[in-house]
Structure 1
Amino acid sequence: MARASAGRQRPGDADPHRGPCPVRSPGAPARDGRGDESSAPRQDADPRDADQDRRRDGPRGDAAAAPGRAHQRDPHPPAQILEREDRRAPRDRGDRVNVAVLGASNGGFTTAADLALAGHSVRLWGRTAQALGSLAKDPTIALAAEGRAGSARLARVTTDLAEAVAGAEVVIAAIPATGHDDLAKRLAPHVNERQIILLTPGTLGSCAMARALARAGAMLPFALAETGTLPYLTRKTGPAAVSAPVRAANLPLGVFPASRGKQTFARLADLFPAARPCVDALDAALTNAGPVIHPPLVLLNAGAIDGGRFDVHAAGTTASVRRLIDVVDAERLATRTGWGYPAPHYELATYYEEARAAEGLYGAGAKAKLLASGLWSEILTFDHRYVTEDVAFGLALFESAGRAAGVETPGVSGLLLTFGALLGRELSGRGRALEHLGLGDFSRREIRGFLDQGWESPMWAKVIR
C-alpha cells in the first residue's frame, strides 16, 4: 500500500482509465486478494465535452457557464491507495462500450435492448431465473422504442452478478432506489476502480451506494452517477419484449464525486446522448419528476385504485390532482433555488403544457404518446414504486433538502404524513433524507463540498459511520 500526497487532485485530472489509483474508504475494512476484474480499456475524456459545472442546450450543444461553486475545497487527509498499475491505451470515442445492466424489470430490459441495438456489448443480470424468463435460452429482446426498434441480442444473460460485471466499463443499476443498499452489498466483492456505476434514476443513490460499498469494505469505483429521471417510460409487453413509447429528451446526470464529473459524463453521454450534466448528485436528484407527480396521483385516486386496474395518468389526472402536483413542484423549485442550483429546473408544467414540452424531461408530445400507448392501465398498490420509492425516498429527500435550504414544504410534508399514516410507519427523516445519509449535522456549504469531493472529503469518515 502507498500513500497519496496531501495535495488534492483538481477536477479534470482524474481519468477512469489512467486516473487515480483505487481508493479504499478511510475507516472501512480492507479487502484482501482483490484482482482487477476489468480488462476493458478506458478512454481519456474529450476536451470538447462540457464539464460538470455546465448545462447543455442539446446532446452535443454548446455549454453555458453555470454559477461558480458555493465553497472552496478544504484540505483533507491523504487517501490510502493501492499501487498504480499500468493502463492500456485509451480508446477512441464511439467504440463499443462493455456494459452490465443490473435489473430484469421494465427498465432493465429496455436499457439492455436499447444499448445492444446501439452497438454496445451488454450483459443483463437478474436476481432470479424466473425474472429473466426465456432470455436464459435465447438472450434476445424485442424492443419497440421511440427512436429505435428491433431484436436486440445481448452478449450474456445471467443470475451470476460476478459474471455480469466482470470486464464491464459501465455498470447500470436499472432498479428502484429501494434496492440500492442490497445491490451495493452484492456488488462489493466485484467492483473495481475503473468502473462507473450509473443509477437510473438515483434519488441521491450515488451517495448512498458509495456509503454502502465503503461500509462493506469494497473497492470504490471511479465514480457513481445517477440520472434525475428514468431514461425511458417503458413497460414489458411480453416475456422478452418491451415497449418504450417515450424516451427522455433531457436526462439530468449527476456524478459523485462531482470532481470526477467531466470524465464520467463523457463516457455516459456515449450511451445516453440526451444526458445533461448537473452540478452534482443532489442537483440531479432534485430534478426527479417521480416524487412530484406520482404521490398526488396515487393518493387522490386511492378509491379508483382500490377498485382494480386503473390508468392514473389518463383518467386520474384531474384538476385537483394537478393543483397538488403544482404545489409539490413549486416547493421542489424553491428548494433547488435555496441550494443555488441553476436552471433548467424541468418544471412539471413542461410535461402537461405542450407549448413548453421541448424544455421538459421527455420532450414534445410525451404526454400524448404515453396516454396513447395504454401501457399504464395497471393494478397499483401501496407496494408500487410510486409509493415505496417516490414517497418514502423521493419526498423524504425533498423535505430534508428543503429544510436545509430554509424552504417550507407543507405540500411535501403533508403527503409524507398522510402516506405514513396509510403505511403505518414514519417516513420523514428516513429513506433518502439527508440526515438518514449521515449528512444531517452539516451545513449546505459543507454538503456541497462533500458532494464535490466524495470519499476524498474530510467528512467521509463521519458519513460512513
Structure 2
Amino acid sequence: MVSGRDDAGRRSGAMRLSVLGAGAVGPAAAVLAASRGHAVTIWSPSGRGTAGIEGGMEAEGAVRGWFPLRVAAGLAEALDDAEAALLAVPAYAFPDLLPRIARALPPGLPLLIAPAASLAPLALDGLLAARGAPAVRAAIGAMATTPVTARRRAPGRVFVATVRAAVDVAAVPSAAAASMGALATALFGHASPAAPSALGAGIANANPIIHAVLALTNVTRIERAEEWPQYGLMTPAACRMMEALARERAALAALFGTPVLDLEESLHRANGVPLGPLAEMAARIAETRGAVAGPAAMETRYVTEDVPYGLAFYLWLARGQGLAMPVTEAVVTALEALWGRDLRRNPLLDGLDPGAIAEALDAGYGRG
C-alpha cells in the first residue's frame, strides 16, 4: 500500500508527467505517480473526466491520501512543459484520439500507451511520420497492461484496486524498450520487463481472452442486468475455453518470436495469488477480493473493446501469417451473433499489411 503526502513538493528524480485520459485508470495512475513525488497534469479528451477535480484527488485502496493534480483544459496545454506522458484511454478511443495526439505531441516527449492494444504505438508512429514529424523523435512506449486497476468513486475520489508488480514494456522503435521500461518504472514503481516489440505488448494482455469468455458464458445475466461475480464464475469449463484461446494466441506470438505470459502468470501478477490451475486461482481471487461484479449491460467493454481490439486483432494478424485460430474464430463469431453487430472493425489497422509489419515494428516509420 502506498500512502502519500499532501504537499506539492518534488522529490529528487521527479518528473513532470501528463496523463491523457481521466476515466478510472488515468486518475489512478496519476495519483500513483504523484505519490512517488512526480508533478502530474491530467487531461480529459471530453472534459467530463476532470470535472470535479479541484486541485487534486483523494485516493483509496492500494494508494491512499490526497494528491495534487493540475487539470489541463486542452491537449496542447497538457503536453506543454511535460517530461513524459501516459495515454490511458479505452482502445475504442484510439481511432479518434491518436490523430489529435500526433498533431500536438512534441518530438522530444516520450509517450507511454497503457495498454497498447492492437498496434496503437505503431499506428501513432505512422501518423507522426505522415504529418512530417522529425526523423529524430522520442520513442513511443507500449505497455502490455495498465500500471493499476481502479474504479472512480466520485469526481474527486478514485479507488485504486491494485498496483501492478510488473508490466511488460516494448517500444517503437524496438531498441528503446529498455529506456521506456525504465521510464515506466520511475513513474509507477513496477518492474518493467522488456518485450521484443510493440506487437508483444499488444497481444500480452489477458483481458480480451478472459473477458470474451465471461461475456459468452454469462450473456443472459448481462442482458438481464443481473449481478454476478466474474471470478466466481470462472468455472473449470469456462477456463478450458480460455486456455484454448490462450494456446492459439501463444502460437500466433511464436510466429513473431514474441513470447506471451500464460493466463495463470497474468492472474498471478495482477492479483498476487499463488500459481495453480486457472479455475483454482480464480476461486482464490474471489475469496480474497470478494465478489468482483461482472458487466450488467450489453454495452460492455468486455465485448465492444476486447473483441475488436483483442480477439479480432489476433485473427487479423493470423491471416497475414496463414495461421488458423479456430477457437478464436468461433468465439468471435458467436459473440457477433449474440450481440448482433460487427465486432471485427478496427480502424487502427487501416492501411497496415499484417504480413509486412515486422520491419515497421523494429524501426518505426520515418525515423532516422
TM-score by length of 2: 0.85
1:240 equivalent to 2:156? Answer: yes
| SS in structure 2 of the partner of residue 316 of structure 1 | coil
Shift of 1:287: 1.1
Aligned pairs for 1:48-59 within 5 A: none
Identify if the C-alpha distance between structure 1 residues 311 and 226 changes in structure 2 by more than 3 Å, giving closer, same or farther. farther
From 258, 275, 292, the equivalent of 2:174 is: 258
Match of 2:19 in 1: 101
| SS in structure 1 of the partner of residue 170 of structure 2 | strand
TM-align CA RMSD: 2.7
For the 8 Å contact 1:293–1:325, the answer to whether it is kept is yes
Shift of 1:402: 3.0
Match of 2:262 in 1: 347
Aligned pairs for 1:262-341 within 5 A: 262-272=178-188, 273-341=190-258
Shift of 1:264: 2.6
Distance 1:311 1:94 in 2: 46
Shift of 1:181: 2.4
**One-letter identity of the residue aligned with 1:233:** T
Distance 1:432 1:413 in 2: 19
**One-letter identity of the residue aligned with 1:197:** L
Identify if the C-alpha distance between structure 1 residues 183 and 370 changes in structure 2 by more than 3 Å, giving closer, same or farther. farther
Distance 1:440 1:279 in 2: 17
Match of 1:363 in 2: 272
Offset from partner CA, 1:54-91 (integer Å, 9 cap, x none): xxxxxxxxxxxxxxxxxxxxxxxxxxxxxxxxxxxxxx
Q: Which has the larger radius of gyration?
A: 1
Distance 1:188 1:336 in 2: 28
Match of 1:181 in 2: 95
1:141 equivalent to 2:57? Answer: yes
**One-letter identity of the residue aligned with 2:363:** Q
Distance 1:212 1:145 in 2: 38
Which structure shows the bigger proportion of residues in helix conformation? 2
For the 8 Å contact 1:100–1:168, the answer to whether it is kept is yes
1:211 equivalent to 2:121? Answer: no
1:157 equivalent to 2:67? Answer: no
Equivalenced residues, count = 348
Distance 1:279 1:239 in 2: 38
1:408 equivalent to 2:317? Answer: no
Of all paired residues, the percent bearing the same amino acid is: 27
Identify if the C-alpha distance between structure 1 residues 210 and 388 changes in structure 2 by more than 3 Å, giving closer, same or farther. farther
Shift of 1:235: 1.0
Shift of 1:178: 1.2
**One-letter identity of the residue aligned with 2:148:** Y
For the 8 Å contact 1:231–1:251, the answer to whether it is kept is yes
For the 8 Å contact 2:249–2:314, the answer to whether it is kept is yes
Shift of 1:340: 1.7
For the 8 Å contact 1:393–1:432, the answer to whether it is kept is no
Shift of 1:376: 3.7
Identify if the C-alpha distance between structure 1 residues 252 and 341 changes in structure 2 by more than 3 Å, giving closer, same or farther. same
Match of 1:171 in 2: 85
Distance 2:158 2:110 in 1: 26
Distance 1:225 1:188 in 2: 14
| SS in structure 2 of the partner of residue 188 of structure 1 | helix
Distance 1:213 1:456 in 2: 9
TM-score by length of 1: 0.68
| SS in structure 1 of the partner of residue 161 of structure 2 | strand
Query: Which consecutive unaligned segments of at least 5 residues does structure 1 have?
Result: 1-92, 459-465
**One-letter identity of the residue aligned with 2:215:** V
Query: Which consecutive unaligned segments of at least 5 residues does structure 2 have?
Result: 1-10, 275-280
